[in-house]
Amino acid sequence: MTRRIVTPMIDLETVRAETPGCDEIIHFNNAGCALSPHPVTHSVISHLQLEQRIGGYEAASQAEKEVANFYTQLAQLLNCESSEIAFMESATRAWQSALLSLDLKAGDEIITAGNEYVGNYISILALARHRGIKFRTLALDADGLIEAEELDKQLSKKTRAILVTHIASQRGDIQNIKAIGEIARAEGICLLVDACQSVGQVPLDLQEIKCDFLCGTGRKYLRGPRGTGFLFARDQSTASFIPPVLDLQSASWDAAKSFTVKKNASRFESFERNLAGQIGLGQAVEYANSLGMTHIAARIQSLADRLVVGLQSLQGVRVHELSERRSGIVTFSKTGTETGALQSHLHQQSINTSISKRNNARLDLDREMQGDVIRASLHYYNDCSEIERFIQVIDRF
Ligand SMILES: Cc1ncc(COP(=O)(O)O)c(C=O)c1O
């Protein structure tokens, strides 16, 4: 497929100037943890300094506007209500809280797929081992995608949840969550989407994506601080689901022997949290909103296309994405080279990448690969000269 060349509408000079790391390194590890822009770092440090000066609780009272910004910006990014968003410490905690709020019983079934994130899959295995939950794992098709029709066939009366990772950590194919959402909605089955690698990378419209829960993390394509994440819980379909852990934020203690759980997504939140991180994540989402997700996605896509073409032109290099639904995550290997040694060599040349390990993708990479693969993940602030340099270093290694 030839992709349309989209003129990126992002002012590269400005975004690079606001990303100090660009002067020092070539950062192709955005799927691990992206470089935060100045306004994000500034907002985090300012709040920490305020806490240092006047006290943590007092700083929280003064920062109500900045905290509220997190909900309004994320609601704008995802096209949902701000009351449907909970701040979480990580995507893993968000995903687990959502799934456990379904109050699954022995014999209930859940469905996942071969691209599932390692942490999520371990939780599924634990649910099966300790609580008797049954699960099915859909094999990916030859293009590395989940076939919606195949998923439909696997549903049974006992299916309580469909779990889908939108873009996997180990490989950059984009799953068709809209088609999966249609099936889940038609069957009345809860759909939980892991959008860790897609939020901030591709547009997500929750009026079009018919999921009930969606979780994301702050540090990756959103460019937020570490230790931050979020959960979207659709009001219409999840209001009666009670999170596995409650506290004074998620519920109120009405009388000595009674309590009421909050109605909106804040029932998934904890009272204690990294407030500076939450404010910083709000800033990061505001930054993405101001650039526009369509522009961000188009620029990432055109950079990734360029990288793939460059890699494919090199002898012995194989790109491992299988479909035409590719993202900014590009995985590859080079015949005769050890992945760890190549990554270290890149690191010595001030180029950051990461490794997709077979052990963390046992149902996916393990099917076809002899070893681990290099993951280069691009963001809109990367540029073409960085890609050229990268290709050159790989070629010479
Ligand atoms: C697809 C996917 N899901 C979930 C996670 C976990 O996110 P967190 O570390 O915020 O829990 C990651 C992190 O790499 C991921 O890539």
Mean model confidence pLDDT for the chain: 95
Given this model, what pLDDT does residue 3 score?
46
What tokens were used for 216? 């994301």
The sign of the torsion formed by the CA atoms of 242, 243, 246, 250 equals negative
Q: What is the pLDDT of residue 75?
A: 98
Question: For ligand 1, is residue 165 a contact (CB within 6 Å)?
Answer: yes
* CA dist., res. 116 & res. 210, Å (int): 19
Are the C-beta atoms of 373 and 355 separated by less than 8 Å?
A: yes
Per-residue pLDDT tens digits for 157-173: 999 999 999 999 999 99
**8 Å CB contact between 381 and 22:** yes
List all residues 6 or more positions away from 132 whose beta carbon is below 8 Å from its beta carbon.
106, 107
Asked if residue 7 has pLDDT above 70, the reply is no
SS3 label, residue 176? coil
Angle at 193 (CA atoms; ends 192, 195), nearest 5 degrees: 150
Separation CA 391–CA 319 (nearest Å): 13
Pocket test for ligand 1, best of 88, 117, 201, 214 (most atoms within 8 A of CB): 117
pLDDT at 369: 67
Residue whose token pair is 């050890």: 338
Cβ proximity of 113 and 137 under 8 Å: yes
- Domains of the chain from N-terminus onward: 12-36+292-396 (3.90.1150.10), 40-290 (3.40.640.10)
pTM of the model: 0.96
- Provide the β-strand partners of residue 319: 332
Q: Which residue has its alpha carbon closest to ligand 1 atom 12?
A: 196
With a 6 Å cutoff on the Cβ, whether 164 touches ligand 1 is: no
| 212-228 mean pLDDT | 98
In this predicted model, what pLDDT tens digit does every residue of 298-356 receive, in sequence order? 999 999 999 999 999 999 999 998 888 999 999 999 999 999 999 999 999 999 999 99
Taking alpha carbons only, the member of 283, 285, 289, 290 closest to residue 43 is: 283
Tell whether ligand 1 has an atom less than 6 A from the beta carbon of residue 229: yes
Torsion region of 263: left, alpha or beta (phi above 0 gives left; psi -120 to 50 gives alpha): alpha
How far away, in angstroms, is 397 Cα from ligand 1 center? 31
Contact 64, 81 (CB under 8 A): no
* Predicted confidence (pLDDT) at residue 283 exceeds the cutoff of 70: yes
